[in-house]
Structure 1
Amino acid sequence: MIKLKVKKYDFNQWVKAAGVRAVKTVAQTAVALIGTSTVMNEVNWAMIISASCLSGVVSILTSVAGLPELEEIVDEG
Protein backbone atom coordinates (compact mmCIF):
# COMPACT_ATOMS: atom_id res chain seq x y z
CA MET A 1 0.00 0.00 0.00
CA ILE A 2 1.25 3.49 -0.86
CA LYS A 3 1.35 5.86 2.06
CA LEU A 4 1.27 9.56 1.22
CA LYS A 5 2.74 12.10 3.58
CA VAL A 6 0.40 15.04 4.04
CA LYS A 7 2.01 18.24 5.24
CA LYS A 8 0.15 19.92 8.08
CA TYR A 9 0.23 23.66 8.66
CA ASP A 10 -1.59 26.09 10.91
CA PHE A 11 -4.50 27.10 8.67
CA ASN A 12 -4.43 30.80 9.56
CA GLN A 13 -0.70 31.04 8.84
CA TRP A 14 -1.16 29.16 5.58
CA VAL A 15 -3.97 31.48 4.41
CA LYS A 16 -1.89 34.56 5.26
CA ALA A 17 1.26 33.25 3.52
CA ALA A 18 -0.64 31.99 0.46
CA GLY A 19 -2.54 35.28 0.23
CA VAL A 20 0.65 37.34 0.36
CA ARG A 21 2.19 35.18 -2.37
CA ALA A 22 -0.94 35.48 -4.52
CA VAL A 23 -1.10 39.28 -4.17
CA LYS A 24 2.57 39.59 -5.10
CA THR A 25 2.06 37.32 -8.10
CA VAL A 26 -0.96 39.32 -9.28
CA ALA A 27 0.98 42.58 -8.95
CA GLN A 28 4.00 41.20 -10.81
CA THR A 29 1.81 39.91 -13.62
CA ALA A 30 -0.02 43.23 -13.95
CA VAL A 31 3.22 45.22 -14.01
CA ALA A 32 4.73 42.95 -16.65
CA LEU A 33 1.64 43.11 -18.87
CA ILE A 34 1.21 46.87 -18.50
CA GLY A 35 4.86 47.38 -19.40
CA THR A 36 4.54 45.16 -22.46
CA SER A 37 1.28 46.79 -23.54
CA THR A 38 2.67 50.29 -23.13
CA VAL A 39 5.45 49.47 -25.58
CA MET A 40 2.77 48.42 -28.07
CA ASN A 41 0.87 51.72 -27.41
CA GLU A 42 -2.32 50.00 -26.28
CA VAL A 43 -3.17 48.76 -22.80
CA ASN A 44 -5.89 46.12 -22.91
CA TRP A 45 -7.21 46.42 -19.34
CA ALA A 46 -9.57 43.45 -19.66
CA MET A 47 -6.67 41.18 -20.61
CA ILE A 48 -4.48 42.54 -17.81
CA ILE A 49 -7.18 42.00 -15.17
CA SER A 50 -8.00 38.55 -16.51
CA ALA A 51 -4.39 37.37 -16.66
CA SER A 52 -3.60 38.86 -13.26
CA CYS A 53 -6.57 37.15 -11.61
CA LEU A 54 -5.65 33.85 -13.25
CA SER A 55 -2.08 34.17 -11.94
CA GLY A 56 -3.49 34.70 -8.44
CA VAL A 57 -5.62 31.56 -8.69
CA VAL A 58 -2.65 29.54 -9.96
CA SER A 59 -0.54 30.89 -7.08
CA ILE A 60 -3.12 29.75 -4.50
CA LEU A 61 -3.36 26.32 -6.12
CA THR A 62 0.42 26.02 -6.16
CA SER A 63 0.51 26.94 -2.47
CA VAL A 64 -1.62 23.88 -1.70
CA ALA A 65 1.48 21.78 -2.44
CA GLY A 66 3.31 23.55 0.37
CA LEU A 67 4.88 26.79 1.40
CA PRO A 68 8.57 26.63 2.32
CA GLU A 69 8.33 29.66 4.61
CA LEU A 70 5.90 27.87 6.96
CA GLU A 71 6.89 25.38 9.61
CA GLU A 72 5.26 22.02 9.21
CA ILE A 73 3.28 20.73 12.20
CA VAL A 74 4.80 17.43 13.22
CA ASP A 75 2.35 14.87 14.56
CA GLU A 76 4.09 12.97 17.33
CA GLY A 77 1.37 10.36 17.63
Structure 2
Amino acid sequence: MNKNWLIAAGIRALKTVAQTAAATIGTSAAIGNVDWVMVLSSAGLAGILSVLTSLGGLPEVTGTENE
Protein backbone atom coordinates (compact mmCIF):
# COMPACT_ATOMS: atom_id res chain seq x y z
CA MET A 1 0.00 0.00 0.00
CA ASN A 2 1.26 3.42 -0.88
CA LYS A 3 -0.06 6.96 -0.72
CA ASN A 4 -1.84 6.74 -4.10
CA TRP A 5 -3.57 3.52 -3.06
CA LEU A 6 -4.71 5.00 0.26
CA ILE A 7 -6.14 8.06 -1.48
CA ALA A 8 -7.92 5.99 -4.15
CA ALA A 9 -9.28 3.50 -1.61
CA GLY A 10 -10.43 6.35 0.66
CA ILE A 11 -12.24 8.12 -2.17
CA ARG A 12 -13.88 4.89 -3.26
CA ALA A 13 -14.94 4.07 0.32
CA LEU A 14 -16.33 7.58 0.86
CA LYS A 15 -18.40 7.33 -2.33
CA THR A 16 -19.69 3.92 -1.26
CA VAL A 17 -20.64 5.25 2.19
CA ALA A 18 -22.52 8.18 0.64
CA GLN A 19 -24.34 5.98 -1.86
CA THR A 20 -25.34 3.48 0.81
CA ALA A 21 -26.55 6.21 3.16
CA ALA A 22 -28.60 7.82 0.38
CA ALA A 23 -30.17 4.50 -0.58
CA THR A 24 -30.93 3.57 3.02
CA ILE A 25 -32.43 6.99 3.79
CA GLY A 26 -34.52 6.85 0.62
CA THR A 27 -35.81 3.37 1.37
CA SER A 28 -36.55 4.24 4.99
CA ALA A 29 -38.33 7.45 4.01
CA ALA A 30 -40.53 5.49 1.60
CA ILE A 31 -41.52 3.24 4.48
CA GLY A 32 -42.21 6.33 6.58
CA ASN A 33 -39.53 6.27 9.27
CA VAL A 34 -35.79 6.86 8.93
CA ASP A 35 -33.83 4.75 11.42
CA TRP A 36 -30.58 6.71 11.71
CA VAL A 37 -28.78 3.92 13.56
CA MET A 38 -29.53 1.60 10.65
CA VAL A 39 -28.39 4.26 8.14
CA LEU A 40 -25.07 4.78 9.95
CA SER A 41 -24.53 1.05 10.51
CA SER A 42 -25.21 0.20 6.88
CA ALA A 43 -23.07 3.03 5.54
CA GLY A 44 -20.20 2.23 7.91
CA LEU A 45 -20.23 -1.45 7.00
CA ALA A 46 -20.31 -0.57 3.30
CA GLY A 47 -17.23 1.63 3.79
CA ILE A 48 -15.34 -1.15 5.55
CA LEU A 49 -16.27 -3.64 2.84
CA SER A 50 -15.18 -1.17 0.18
CA VAL A 51 -11.71 -0.87 1.71
CA LEU A 52 -11.44 -4.65 2.07
CA THR A 53 -12.47 -5.09 -1.57
CA SER A 54 -9.86 -2.52 -2.58
CA LEU A 55 -7.18 -4.77 -1.12
CA GLY A 56 -7.70 -6.92 -4.22
CA GLY A 57 -6.60 -4.05 -6.41
CA LEU A 58 -7.73 -0.71 -7.68
CA PRO A 59 -7.88 0.09 -11.38
CA GLU A 60 -7.25 3.75 -10.50
CA VAL A 61 -3.79 2.87 -9.20
CA THR A 62 -1.43 1.45 -11.80
CA GLY A 63 1.97 -0.10 -11.38
CA THR A 64 3.48 -2.87 -9.35
CA GLU A 65 2.91 -1.13 -6.01
CA ASN A 66 -0.80 -2.02 -6.24
CA GLU A 67 -0.17 -5.74 -6.69
TM class, shorter-chain normalised? Answer: over 0.9
Q: Which has the larger radius of gyration?
A: 1
Give structure 1 stretches of 5+ with no counterpart.
1-8
Letter aligned with residue 36 of structure 2: W
Q: What is the CA–CA distance in structure 2 between the aligned matches of 1:73 and 1:29, rounded to whole Å?
A: 31
Letter aligned with residue 30 of structure 2: V
SS in 1 for 2:20: helix
Percent identity reads 49
Shift of 1:73: 2.5
Letter aligned with residue 12 of structure 1: K
Displacement over 3 Å in runs of 4+: none
Q: How many residues align?
A: 65
Q: TM-score scaled by structure 1?
A: 0.81
Letter aligned with residue 31 of structure 1: A
SS in 1 for 2:64: coil
Q: Which has the higher helix share?
A: 2
